[in-house]
Structure formats: structure tokens, C-alpha cells
Amino acid sequence: MKKFLTIMLLATLSATAHSQEANERLHQLETYLKELEYGVSHEQSNTHERGITHRWRTSFPIYLLPHPSNNGNMSEEQRQKVIHSIDSINARREEQMNKALDSIRIAFAALGKYASESYLYEYHKDGTDTIKYSLAFRQEEDSLYSSRYGNQVYFHNAREVASFDYQKGYDSNYNRVNGYGSYQHVYTIPNGITWDDLKPFDFAAFEAQIQPVLKTLKKLKGSKTYPVYWRHDEGFEDNVGNGGLISKVSRQSEYGDNKHTGLTTGTHYFIPIQYKSEAEAIYHQLDSLTHNYVDNHPEQQYTYYYSSRFLPHANITGIVEGHDIRGDKDYHLKCMMDEEGYHILVITTKGELWTPKDWQKLKSYINGEKVYR
């Protein structure tokens, strides 16, 4: 914490409302949150005429374990040892969360007087905590448009926005103290491209860029390629978690009568687990080519995700999503690793994307019916 405070105090307080880069103070905060082992995601997108938008996000879950009841299943000596262990775990969790809260509180308070608008709200009573912060820097001399929901303020046309929402209290359902916070930092760089100038993501041109890399993995012994076919028709339902899905991404729910249908097709590339260095090299090449492509095509609609590696198990890392907002198709380049190896998905979705559980083992998924290879 002392390290963070030193950095914050030495950092310039003269952040202007017309800076061409994202606020350095907020980046320092995000770096410190990473040091506290909170994952901070970063994505870049061009899905509207305001320009290129960067978004940093992180969440702060905290669960304080309750003490065991003395129900006769253990001696009092054993129970006290368990209580001591639980108290140590809870103390570490609270210390980590308090460091994060203090750093966030300092950053928002320091930036408030330089922001175009800022709001700080805190409420603490009997172990219940509520914190809601938001601040914004306007775009040139434009007026800011904002809305309120409870004690949270949301900005809709700012050049840069940061917000933090935190709740903590006793959860009687689980007999424990639960807390959860979410941080978001959004920065938009105008590029002069109007809505009429925006074009759909060029799936074919992008694939031509990455195909040479995908061909190299086919030379690795044991590597495989499989066709992808996931389909759900109108009227079919499958709950995430309880059903056969990992995730369900609604593509057009906000636009007219959405029947929640979708067809996902493409190719699944597999690299055996023993090729760790080769797989990492392929990932970095794909990431580099993708970043270069979207930077050179600001007129195309996309969301690019900054990441440095394959994520394990059910965590599918999206490298890029190519959008066609005026149509009904999306393009996805995704990666994942599991105990068997490394998986790369190159897929196109018409309608909604539903990702089935065990997708890396499936020949097809049609309305909940899975056919394994």
C-alpha cells in the first residue's frame, strides 16, 4: 500500500480534460490492482461512430467464511483449530480487499477535482458497506449527458469515464459475509469515422491474414482440425449452467423481435499438450496479427481482447469478435487450453452464439442434442 501511495502522490495532478491518452492516474490504479492479484481485463472496440473505445474492467468478490457450529462432530480443540484457520483466511481476504478499496478511494478522490463531473457516495453501518463512485472527462467542450440509478451516476457521451460499485453485508442464505465490487474505466479516442463510414468486419480478409499461422500448427504431430456445428432453433431453451451450455450470448435482443435462434459454424484447431512452446508462439502470432489488423482497419466493427496466453479449462479467451451490426453475423477467434492440449476456434455465428459444454469434444450440438466425436 505504501508503494501505491508513493506512486500516487508523485504522479501529476494536472490531468487535463483534453489529454490524447487515457488517464495515467487510473492506469496506476489498475497496475496496483493487478499487483494485488485482481485480474484486470482490457478490450478495444470500434462499434459506433464515436471512435476507438478502450475498456478496462475488474471485479472484487469477497466471501468471509463462517465459524463451524459445535454440533458434536469434532472436539472443542479441533473446532478452535478450524476457527483459527478460518480467521486467518478471512483476515487475508479482508486485508486484500481493504488495500484495493483504499487505493480506489484515493484515486477517485484525487481525480474528482480535475474531472468534468464526479460523484462519490459511501454508506457504512453495522457491517454493511455501500460505495459508489463515478467520474467523467467530457469530449472537448461538449456537454455531458448522464443518468442516475439510485446513488450511481452513468455517463453516456464522455471521452473518459471511470466507475466503482461495491456492496458488502451479511448473507443469511449462506450464513456468511459477502461482498462484491466492480470497477470499469472507459476511454474513447475520436477518429472522425461516421456511422455511414463504418463497415462490417471483413471475415475473409482477416482469415487470409491468419491462415499461414494456422497452417503451421497442422505440421505438429497429433494436431487435428474439426468442423464446428452448433445450432439452436426458435423455441428451444437451454439454461446456462444447468443445461448444456457454457455461455449464451444474445446477439440482437435489443433490435426487434428476436427469436433467439443461432447457427455457429467454423473450424476447431487442436494442438496436443506437449507442444507448449509451439502453442504459445502460435497464440502470440495470432494476437499480433489481430491487433495489427484492427489497428489498420478502424472503419470495421470489432472488439479486440488484450491477452497474453491461453487460459485454462472452461475459460475461453476471445482474441477478436468481428461484428456486422447492420446484419446478423459475428466472427470469433477464440482460444482455450485443457488437460489434453490447446484449442483454437475460428467460427462464424448467424444469430445468437450459444457455446455448449464439452464443445472441444463435440461433433455437433443441435437443440441440446450432443453428438460426440
Which pLDDT value is given to residue 345? 96
Which pLDDT value is given to residue 95? 93
Kindly state the DSSP code that residue 362 receives in the 8-state scheme. E
Contact partners, residue 80, CB within 8 Å, separation at least 6: none
Sign of the C-alpha dihedral computed for residues 232, 238, 244 and 245 taken in this order: positive
Do 168 and 61 form a contact (C-beta atoms < 8 A)?
no
State the pTM of this model. 0.83
State which residues of the chain have pLDDT below 70: 1-20, 71-72, 251-258, 313-314
Do 111 and 23 form a contact (C-beta atoms < 8 A)?
yes
No. of H helices and E strands in the chain? 5, 18
Angle between helices 76-112 and 2-10 (to 10 degrees): 0
Which pLDDT value is given to residue 165? 95
- Cα angle value 148/153/154 (rounded, 5°): 95
Do 312 and 337 form a contact (C-beta atoms < 8 A)?
yes
Q: What percentage of the chain's residues is helix, strand, coil (to nearest 5)?
A: 25, 40, 35
Kindly state the DSSP code that residue 72 receives in the 8-state scheme. S
Contact partners, residue 360, CB within 8 Å, separation at least 6: 268, 270, 336, 338, 340, 343
